[in-house]
Amino acid sequence: MIAYIVRRILYAVPILIGVNLLTFILFFVINTPDDIARSQLGDRRVTTAAIDTWKRSHGYHKPMIYNENAQGLGKFTDTVFFNKSVRLFGFDFGRSDSGRDIGYDIGQRMWPSLAIAVPTLIVGILVNITFGLFIAFFRGTYIDFWGVVTCVILLSVSSLFYIIGGQYLLSKLFHLVPISGYDTGINAFKFLILPVVVGVVSGIGSGTRWYRTLFLEEIGKDYVRTARAKGLSEQVVLFRHVLRNALIPLLTGIVVVLPLLFMGSLIVESFFGVPGLGSYTIDGIQRQDFAIVRSMVFLGSVLYIVGLLLTDISYTVVDPRVRLQ
Amino acid sequence: MHRLAALLFCVSISPASLALWNNPYPDSQTSENILYSSFSERPKHLDPARSYSAGEYAFIAQIYEPPLQYHYLKRPYTLVPLTAINMPRVTYIGAEGGRLGEDAPVSDIAFSEYEIQIQAGIRYQPHPALAKDKRGEYLYHSLSDDQVDQVYELSDFMETGTRELTAADYAHQIKRMANPQSHSPIAGVMSQYIVGFAELSEEIETTLSTLEDGEFLDLRQFRLEGVTIVDRHTYRIRIRGKYPQFLYWQAMPFFAPLPWEAERFYAQPGLKEKNITLDWYPIGTGPFMLAENNPNLRMVMARNPNFHGEHYPATGDEVDQSRGLLADNGKPMPFVDRAIYSLEKESIPRWNKFLQGFYDNSGITSDSFDQAIQFNPQGEAALTAEMSGRGIRLSTAVATSIYYMGFNYLHPVLGGSGERARKLRQAISIAVDFEEFISIFRNGRGVAAQGPIPAGIFGHHPGEAGINPYVYDWVDGRAQRKPLAIAKKLLREAGYPDGIDNTTGKPLVLHFEAIGSGPDEKARLNWMRKQFKKLGIQLIVRATDYNRFRDKMLKGKSEIFLWGWNADYPDPENFLFLLYGPNSKAKNNGENASNYANPEFDRLFERMKNMENNTERRKLIDQMVAIARRDAPWMWGFHPKDFSLHHAWVRNTKPNLMANNTLKYLRIDPKLRADERQQWNQPTLWPLGLMGGLLGVSIIPAIISFRRREKSTAL
């Protein structure tokens, strides 16, 4: 298994280089170094000399990807792309174009993202499994029918509607929770209730349908029939046999998103005023801060690769028949 | 026993016994003298040499104190001393070095020298950069790696110190602006005026190239020819020629003092990696200091314990007395102990928190406009009954800004000083109905511009004398846009009858450079097309992003565009320079975006720009405005009107669009705020019970069904 993991990590290197190159090209198709400098210096009264000075001090004065005037390897290394990218592989994100240390900011901002994402994931899974099992138990009845209809309605609604609706009902109308904001430590609790509730409710439709499908697939299998034939009660069949076997796709679906929880949610963080990584990324894009954009894309790619690797490993844990070679 | 517990629980959660569940602040703050507000975008820079936006000034202007400030109440905007004892003394010097009289011709003046004497005894806020040990050595100027490792915030430094503000600190800040590493946006402007500024920049740049990466550059070792320290509390700035507007710059944070110790402290290795930099942790002498700096969440300003003291103004405008704005006359400022600004990116939560009493003031977005504002039959804005019922007050002020629609003067059809192009521009200026634009897209928050100079700026004429005679008539005591027939006549004379080009026989097609293409923008662009359609002109919209738009403007490739300008200072020069030929954006990267060039206008501008505000200057301005109106390089667009709302517990609110250091004037009634919040935010608990009940009821059929299934036979 270790050889497999090492191999997967080595595969990740060219993927990350490719992602980095693609980000670089896409970003600089839209923004020139002059644009970045103007974005930092402002439009008012800024002179060409000031732009040149800024570019020089931030390393944007060099050729982008290929330096014709350099010698040997310098043709590739004495470029904006190389200088801005190579340190990423050591997880040294450097400084943003506005001068802040990106690694420090990521370290600060990932906690609020996690504070929302982790309870949303856990509560969401519990609620969705409960509803999924409930509907699967009553398969073919009116409960199943109306449950599925409700799920389809819930998943058809935009997440923005849940956010605004939740803020309107729970905070504006009923005054039960703060409408937005965040705090540290135990004080964060009251700010997390609304985004977590909104996150869970907005995921019920799709989650419950997915789990229902998984459970129904298992329910139709021979071992379930055998269990019933043994005279086991329906709840024992569902909880002891169906749920455990349905865990394989369920677990892999969860494990793959675990690392991405760090990245936060753009809309939720923006509407609830949560200083997480989701809003950090969009801030970087809006400010044309290439240093932040490339760092967050790189981090996202790494976490996604880690998620896929963990998924593979989790297969071996939940299904002894699977072996990684 | 169970019943008793249930009863106790019900009593314990009854609304009367509850704290506010939706209060985003700790309950302990309820009765504290704190002002609550919000900001929508995190500041980029808090370094006074670099910061140049309103969002950043909202913070640093409360911390840093330049020598001058704007009087809070007087209009037109008036400069008064802040840390200076008096207004700066100006001396004019001839080319031979001799002193000239105040009325010396501008052409004779080679240099102007501003002597500024600051108050003695002003002290900096407590700051670790100024902390000293018993021997008088700086405690934190030589941090070890271990010390740096234990620091995460500036507040982790246990000791702080202070010292007296000196004239050298002001000189130091001017040198910082000259330092290329500071990236000061006004370095280019200042190098034109301050003697030796450009030379110092070059000298510093040369020195920087010899330093190791991260090595501290001590600016005290450099000499700036144009800045002289006369004594501990007096300094002189020598500038080239006569530039009366230089005084206005002295009211901006660019010219606030900065102690060298701060630069020395922040330059130490390891602090930058923890974002402990001068750009994020200001050090000033103002009424407030930054107590918490988390631009991703909140910024907290706390009263500076070393503040030198200042008193609320004793005089103001005529109406200020009746509005209660002089009630605090002579009282020591600041009035609030702290100000908490929360990051609020979205307008909906921001507005709702204002209505709940958790923000003390608010702007008005389009979404909430109808809820907040109604217009009376006279067209005046007033609060709706809902807002008035809450005791909310409305403040309005015409901004010292202009949004204009420009014609590119370099364009072969629209540009140039020829009669044909001029009539075409005048015709379009009449056809594009900015009164309608203001009504539809800005909810009436704006005043149609008659020229480049907004109200409140010297050179602006209200009433009939101030209308643009090429676009408006004075009818029944108000400016009325000329009939479309006049525009069509002008268009015909320009060679485009009904929008058809006489020479080609084809419709006249013009291009509008638009930024963005969202749903809101689409409605605006459709409106724009309709305005040109009135004359038979086809308007093609070229929507693009801001970068491309800026690029087109820099290259002079635009035709018609919408742009704006927000005044740096309340002087007509700051608006008329937008039309000065040598400031052409395409030719010289200046601020004249339409690339307008008229030799007569330029000649008058050069005479006017360095004059004091007097009758002669007013005449010159009138001539310039008349020329610009005739040439119509811009459709004059509109001056935006700022609407802001304040709760009843906020006192001394008067919009001052030039001053940024206004926090110290605001007073809060925390008791009234606490009472109102309590009344407005009682939690409603019945929905929770209802939800629980519904859930319970919905489960019953499932339980019945479950039992029936369990008891049923297999076949």
CATH of the domain at B109: 3.90.76
Least confident of A208-222, A248-262, B164-178, B351-365: A248-262
In-domain check, residue B441: yes
Closest listed residue to residue B689, CA positions, set B697, B699, B681? B697
Put simply, the answer to whether B345 touches A138 (Cβ < 8 Å) is no
Please indicate if any CB of chain A lies within 8 Å of the CB of B352: yes
- Summarize the confidence of residues A121-138 as an average pLDDT: 91
Which of B598, B613, B642 is a domain's end point? B642
Tell whether the torsion through CA atoms of B379, B384, B387 and B388 is positive or negative: positive
ipTM over 0.90: no
User: Which is more confidently placed, B714 or B341?
Assistant: B341
Which of B619, B642, B665 is a domain's end point? B642
Are the CB atoms for A75 and A67 separated by under 8 Å? yes
Are the CB atoms for B104 and B225 separated by under 8 Å? no
Strands B288-294 and B298-303 come out as antiparallel
Residue B8 has pLDDT above 70, yes or no: no
550-579 in chain B: CB under 8 A from chain A: 550, 568
- Summarize the confidence of residues B524-545 as an average pLDDT: 94
User: Which is more confidently placed, B520 or B184?
Assistant: B184
Question: A102-318 belongs to which homologous superfamily?
Answer: MetI-like (1.10.3720.10)
Put simply, the answer to whether B345 touches A109 (Cβ < 8 Å) is no
Distance (Å, rounded) from C-alpha B713 to C-alpha B706? 13
pTM, two decimals, is 0.90
- Summarize the confidence of residues A256-272 as an average pLDDT: 82
Among A32-46, A272-286, B633-647, the range of highest mean pLDDT: B633-647
- Summarize the confidence of residues B433-442 as an average pLDDT: 94
293-322 in chain B: CB under 8 A from chain A: 294, 296-297
How high does pLDDT run on average in chain B? 92
Residue B285 has pLDDT above 90, yes or no: yes
In-domain check, residue B310: no
Put simply, the answer to whether A45 touches B186 (Cβ < 8 Å) is yes
Cα distance from B694 to chain A (closest Cα, Å)? 15
Are the CB atoms for A297 and B365 separated by under 8 Å? no
Which of B242, B268, B291 is a domain's end point? B242
The pLDDT value recorded for residue B715 is 55
293-322 in chain A: CB under 8 A from chain B: none
Put simply, the answer to whether A233 touches B710 (Cβ < 8 Å) is yes
B346: nearest CB among A98, A175, A270: A270
Residue B620 has pLDDT above 60, yes or no: yes
Distance (Å, rounded) from C-alpha B90 to C-alpha B244? 9
A104: nearest CB among B183, B273, B684: B273
Closest listed residue to residue B189, CA positions, set B155, B239, B144, B153? B239
Distance (Å, rounded) from C-alpha B550 to C-alpha B523? 23
pLDDT tens for each residue of B582-599: 999 999 989 999 999 999
Distance (Å, rounded) from C-alpha A243 to C-alpha A132? 10
Q: Which residues of A touch B701 (CB under 8 A)?
A: 143
User: How far does Cα B491 stand from its chain's mean position?
Assistant: 39
Put simply, the answer to whether A275 touches B710 (Cβ < 8 Å) is no
pLDDT tens for each residue of A82-115: 888 888 888 888 888 888 889 988 998 999 999 9
The pLDDT value recorded for residue B18 is 52
The pLDDT value recorded for residue B714 is 59
Residue B58 has pLDDT above 50, yes or no: yes
Cα distance from B605 to chain A (closest Cα, Å)? 18
Residue A252 has pLDDT above 90, yes or no: no
Pairs of CB atoms within 8 A across A/B:
148
- Summarize the confidence of residues A22-29 as an average pLDDT: 89
The pLDDT value recorded for residue A235 is 81
In-domain check, residue B74: no
- Helix axis angle for A189-219 and A102-137, nearest 10°, is 40
The label of the residue with tokens 């949004």 reads: B403
Please indicate if any CB of chain A lies within 8 Å of the CB of B713: no
Burial class of residue B377, CB neighbours in 10 A (0-12, 13-18, 19+) = exposed
Distance (Å, rounded) from C-alpha B192 to C-alpha B203? 16
The pLDDT value recorded for residue A139 is 85
pLDDT bracket for residue B693 (50, 70, 90): very high
Q: Residue B613 belongs to what domain range?
A: 401-642
In-domain check, residue B202: yes
In-domain check, residue B286: no
Q: Which residues of A touch B297 (CB under 8 A)?
A: 182, 273, 275
Are the CB atoms for B101 and B68 separated by under 8 Å? no
In-domain check, residue B67: no
How high does pLDDT run on average in chain A? 88
Please indicate if any CB of chain A lies within 8 Å of the CB of B615: no
Put simply, the answer to whether A275 touches B709 (Cβ < 8 Å) is no
B705: nearest CB among A40, A103, A143: A143
Put simply, the answer to whether B296 touches A190 (Cβ < 8 Å) is no
Substitution target in B25, B47, B183, B685 with the highest count of A β-carbons within 10 Å is: B183
Tell whether the torsion through CA atoms of B155, B157, B158 and B161 is positive or negative: negative
Put simply, the answer to whether B296 touches A275 (Cβ < 8 Å) is yes
Count of domains for chain B:
2
Residue B318 has pLDDT above 90, yes or no: no
21-60 in chain A: CB under 8 A from chain B: 30-32, 35, 38, 40-50, 53-54, 57
Put simply, the answer to whether B547 touches A175 (Cβ < 8 Å) is no
Are the CB atoms for A175 and A193 separated by under 8 Å? no
pLDDT bracket for residue A262 (50, 70, 90): confident
Please indicate if any CB of chain B lies within 8 Å of the CB of A234: yes
In-domain check, residue B492: yes
In-domain check, residue B303: no
Residue A234 has pLDDT above 90, yes or no: no
CATH number assigned to the domain comprising residue B503: 3.10.105.10
Task: Pull the structure tokens for residue B19.
Answer: 């704290």
